[in-house]
Amino acid sequence: MGEAPVTGIRNEKTGQVVSTKMQKTIVVEVTRRVPHPLYKRIVTRRKKFYAHDEEQTARPGDIVRIIESRPLSKLKRWNLAEVVRRAAQVGTLEEEEKETSL
């Protein structure tokens, strides 16, 4: 009489990729707007999360969705679920000339 595996709803967050300097790891900054506890003014709270990016698809500036997972390292507890929106790529004129000349 085996028990059914517990499939809880995993926590999800959406944020902007701040850094991709590490291998297979991205830093995602999640912003949320909450009322101040005393003054009730809307303030922006920011928090950074380290997420696992196996295929290294995310780039700085992308808007991504991350989901909670088991601890992967000292700081990583999130996995990249999907890239919601790509960042606008700003290239220099010299780079474009090199690509067209090849």
Q: Which CATH superfamily is domain 12-87 in?
A: Nucleic acid-binding proteins (2.40.50.140)
Q: Are 35 and 42 in contact (CB under 8 A)?
A: yes
Q: What is the domain partition of the chain in residue ranges?
A: 12-87
H or E, element range at 93 = helix 93-101
Provide the residue-wise pLDDT of the chain in tens; the chain has 102 residues. Answer: 566 676 778 899 999 999 999 999 999 999 999 999 999 999 999 999 999 999 999 999 999 999 999 999 999 999 999 999 998 887 665 666 666 666
pTM for the model stands at 0.78
- The CA distances from residue 83 to 22, 51, 73, 90, in Å, are 18, 13, 22, 18
Residue the block writes with tokens 């303030």: 43
